[in-house]
Each structure stands twice: as C-alpha cells, then as structure tokens.
Structure 1
Amino acid sequence: MELIALRAAVFDLDGTLIDTEPRNRVMWSRLFDAHGAPYDDAVIASFAGRRGMEVLAGLAHLFPGRTAEELFEEALSYGTLPGLPLAAPVPGAVELVRSLVAAGVPLAVVTSGQRSYAEGLLEELGVRDLLDLVVTAGDVVTGKPHPEGYLAAARDLDVTPRDAVGFEDAPAGVAAVKAAGMTCVGVTTTQPVGALAEADHVVADLKEVDVVAGPALRVRGR
C-alpha cells in the first residue's frame, strides 16, 4: 500500500472508467467478418487504447480497396445494432471521480474515442460535469501510445506532468502516460497484470484506490 501525492488526475475512458471492451471487441470482429479478413485475438486486442483509424491504417492490406476512414465508420455503425454486450462502470470509478472532486483535484479524460462517443459515455456515467477537460481523438495529431493527449491535459490543467496521475487499462495507454512523465496506475479491467508492467502501480479495479488528505491517493494494488 502506498500514498501518491497529486495535483491532478487524468483518466482514460474505455476500460478505465467504463468497461466497453466486450462491446468494442464484438464491433471490430464484425468488421473483419464482414470483409472476410483474417484476425485473431491479438489483432482485436491491438485496438485497445488506440485510435481505431490508426490501427486500421496499419491493417489496410487486409481490406483491399477500402480506406481506414471507411472501415472506421463501418465499425461504428455496428454499435447501433441490437445484441451488443452492455457497458458497465468499472467498479469504484464513479466513486473515485467524486472523491477527487471533493478533494479539489482537477480532473481530465484522455481518450482515443471520438468526442460524441466520449461525451455520451461520460453523461451515461454521470460524471461529465465533474471533469475540467476531455481530450478526444480529434484533439490530437498522434494518438496513444504517443503522449500528446496526456501532455495536453497537463498543460490545460496547469500542472506539470510529474504532479499528475494517469489511469489506464491498456498497454498503449500506459506507455502514453509514462512517456508524458506522469505516475501511472494500471487497471486490469481488460488486460492481465503482465501487459501493464510499465505502470507504476496496478490495481484490479478503482475500488482499490482511495483519496486521502493531502490530497493523495492510497493504492492497495501492487
């Protein structure tokens, strides 16, 4: 158990505040199936934490004649179909956000999702009005694992990266937090502990993180 002093907290969204991974995996799988493109679990997992269009650009050879933009829009369209797994808040996520706000800690979200998608999920969680800043895929030139989004959040929250804590569930996100110079708390919502080895701390969910006077975080994971 360790205390981490902080002046700001920055959260990833998918898999960190809300578990959308089962739904997203179905959407990406449907895209590959629709085009007869080969894939395995590793290919689908490669989308986690990254901007979908960037991943698709690297897989363009599997979809001859289609652009990454077209494929991305097609994948999004599958999100409106019935039968998708429901997204649920990560245990402890909403409570942690509210505790940080009560302690006067500025908050941001840095997500690889599009703004309308991110804003909708945050409203669904009931925390959008508690956030000072939301950085989405369209707000950066280069997505995770590049640190641009996290550096932008620190700048706009007016804190140095070393005084901020970033929460992530995917290897690309952990790499982005660390490259930005922030302390990273990895959450094993969607990945095994070993995949988040670069994180400074790893927890099973956000119930293992408490806000204490300082303000500081008490982390009960490893």
Structure 2
Amino acid sequence: MPDLKRSGVLLDVDGTLVDTTYLHTVAWWEALRQADHRVPMAVIHRSIGMGSDKLLDHLLGAERDRDQDDRLRDAHDSLFAGWFERLAPLPGARELLRACAARGLRVVLATSAAEHELAALRKVLDADDVIDTVTSSADAQQSKPAPDILIAALEQAGLDAAEVVFVGDSVWDVAAAGKLDIPCIGLACGGTSRGELAGAGAVAVYDDPAALLAGLAESPIAALR
C-alpha cells in the first residue's frame, strides 16, 4: 500500500511563530524568585516548551512540595500578560501560514497556550482567515513532551499523523512529534540551537519562519498534498 499523502501543517506558536520564548523565561524566573526559588535563566530557558506542570517538575523536582504551584503559575501568567501589547510575530511567520494555506494544506496551530494567552498570540499573528484549527491547554491532559496536544490537533483537524508535518522550536516539540512518528521541522528562533534540534530528531532545521518560507519548495512541507 502506498504511503498516505500528508495534507496538513501543525505549528507550535510560542517561540515558533511569535517571539515569546525569552519573555516566558523572564516571567518564570521572576515568579520563581518571588517564591524564593533561585533558578538560573539558562536552565529555565531550556525548559520552555514544556507545559507548566512538567516545567516545574523539571526545575524544582517531582518530589517537591506542590502547594506553591498554583501561585507560581498565576505569577508567571500575570507577568507574561504585561507584554501582550508588545508581542511581535517572528520574521515571516504570517507569510509562512499564508503560503502553506495557498498550497491547499490545512494550517493547524498545535499549541498548549492557555485561552487568554492564545487570544493575544492570534491577534499578533493576524492570520485567522487561513488557520483551520487551533488547540489550547484545555485540549491536552499532559503537556509536551507528551504528544497529547498533537493528538488533539489531529483529531480536531480531521488529519492523520501520516498526513502532516509539525513545525516547532524546542526539543520538547521534536520529542512530542517523534512519539507519533510525525516529521518535525525545527526552527532555531526560540533560542535552541540547530545542532540540538537536529540531535533531538528534527528532520530539517531553519533559522526562523522566514528561512523556512524561503526554502519551502525544498522543505518537507513540499511533499505534502
């Protein structure tokens, strides 16, 4: 039996399409500092891309006292919300979405951002007319590197894992896609190096959405129908 033709592009949003990775890093650093947890920003940055549940386990240990977790999340959310009006798309993000849609592909934002954050991110992207489906944190029981949000995106878009490519900016994105055998294109614009993304299993790596757009005809997306 021939391989199924892929027919959709799933895309992470934070750090992949919108320039938020370091803002999340600073927001978590300050939220943790307020609770007397001193965690270096470089360590926090390496955790961005996980959901808050796994991020706090990763930074503070799974055996920690979890009584502070809700307060830490609320502090992060409040700090990050202070930048909503200044968020900016990464170079070529909007154009990449439109180019994928012009190829007849379903464009799916596979993000685990909370609903209030997602509204701000979608406003920045200003591409709702070409976006087929959008997920949020409410759609996944577990966050990346678990594949739950990708499973939800596939189900909501009516796609099969054999019909898509995923675009993300972190090793956690690559790991989540790998659990479903979905090829993952890595973008280095979230601050994770090309070598790390490739080493995690990304099938191709580009600097940012603009670079992927420029090389679209030779990228794994070109094989989608």
Q: Give the alignment's Cα RMSD to 1 decimal.
A: 2.7
Flag the 1:216–1:186 CA change in 2: closer, same or farther, 3 A. closer
Q: Which string of whole-angstrom CA distances, capped at 9 and with x for unpartnered residues, describes residues 99-133 of structure 1?
A: 11122211111113102211221122101332121
Query: In the alignment, is residue 106 of structure 1 matched against residue 111 of structure 2?
Result: no
How do residues 15-94 of structure 1 correspond to structure 2 at under 5 angstroms?
15-58=15-58, 59=60, 66-81=67-82, 86-94=86-94
Is the contact made by 1:7 and 1:163 (CA closer than 8 Å) also made in structure 2? Answer: yes
Change (3 A) 1:64 1:127: same
**Whole-Å separation in 1 of the counterparts to 2:34 and 2:7:** 47
Per-residue deviation at 1:63? 7.8
Asked if the contact 1:144/1:172 (under 8 Å) is kept, the reply is yes
Alpha-carbon distance change, 63 to 28 in structure 1, aligned in 2, over 3 angstroms = farther
Q: 1:61 to 1:129 in 2, by over 3 A?
A: same
Could you say what secondary structure the match of 1:167 adopts?
strand
| Structure 2 length-normalised TM | 0.83
Aligned equivalents of 2:82 and 2:89: distance in 1?
21
- Per the normalisation by structure 1, the TM-score is 0.84
**More helix per residue: 1 or 2?**
2
Q: Are the equivalent residues in 1 in contact too, given 2:139–2:152 (CA < 8 A)? A: no
Percent identity over the alignment is 25
Q: 1:81 to 1:18 in 2, by over 3 A?
A: closer
What amino acid maps onto 1:127 in structure 2?
A
Determine the structure 1 residue equivalent to 2:11: 11
Q: Conserved in 2, the CA contact under 8 Å of 1:107 and 1:132?
A: yes
* Secondary structure of the corresponding residue to residue 145 of structure 1: coil
Q: How far off its partner does 1:208 sit?
A: 2.4
User: Matched residues in 1 for 2:104 and 2:146: separation?
Assistant: 28
Q: Distance in 2 between matches of 1:110 and 1:7?
A: 15
Between stretches 147-156 and 57-66, larger displacement belongs to 57-66
- The aligned length equals 212
Mapped to 2, the partners of 1:61 and 1:206 lie a distance apart of: 35
Distance apart, 1:142 and its partner CA? 0.9
- Output the CA distance in 2 between the equivalents of 1:168 and 1:112: 12
Q: 1:184 to 1:26 in 2, by over 3 A?
A: same
Return 5+ residue gaps in structure 2 as ranges.
none
Q: Is the 8 A contact 1:10 1:165 kept in 2?
A: yes
Residues in 2 aligned to 1:142 and 1:43: alpha-carbon distance in whole angstroms? 22
Shift of 1:172: 0.6
Structure 2 match to 1:195? 196
Question: Using a 3 Å threshold, how does the CA distance of structure 1 residues 158 and 34 change in structure 2: closer, same or farther?
Answer: same
1:159 is displaced (CA, Å) by 2.3
> What is the CA distance between 1:61 and its match in structure 2?
7.9
Query: Using the alignment, how far apart are the partners of 1:45 and 1:65 within structure 2?
Result: 21
Cα contact 1:49–1:173 (8 A) shared by 2: yes
Is this contact kept in 1: 2:10–2:108, CA < 8 A?
Answer: yes
- In the other structure, the counterpart of 1:217 is 222
C-alpha distance in 2 between matches for 1:123 and 1:80: 14
Which piece of structure 1 moves more, 70-79 or 10-19? 70-79
The structure where strand makes up a greater share of residues is 1
Contact 1:60 1:68 in 2 (8 A): no
Q: What is the distance in 2 between the residues matched to 1:94 and 1:114?
A: 21
Q: Which residue of 2 aligns with 1:177?
A: 177
Residue identity opposite 2:149 in structure 1:
G
Q: Does structure 1 residue 208 correspond to structure 2 residue 220?
A: no
Tell me, in whole angstroms, the C-alpha distance in 2 between the residues paired with 1:12 and 1:38: 29
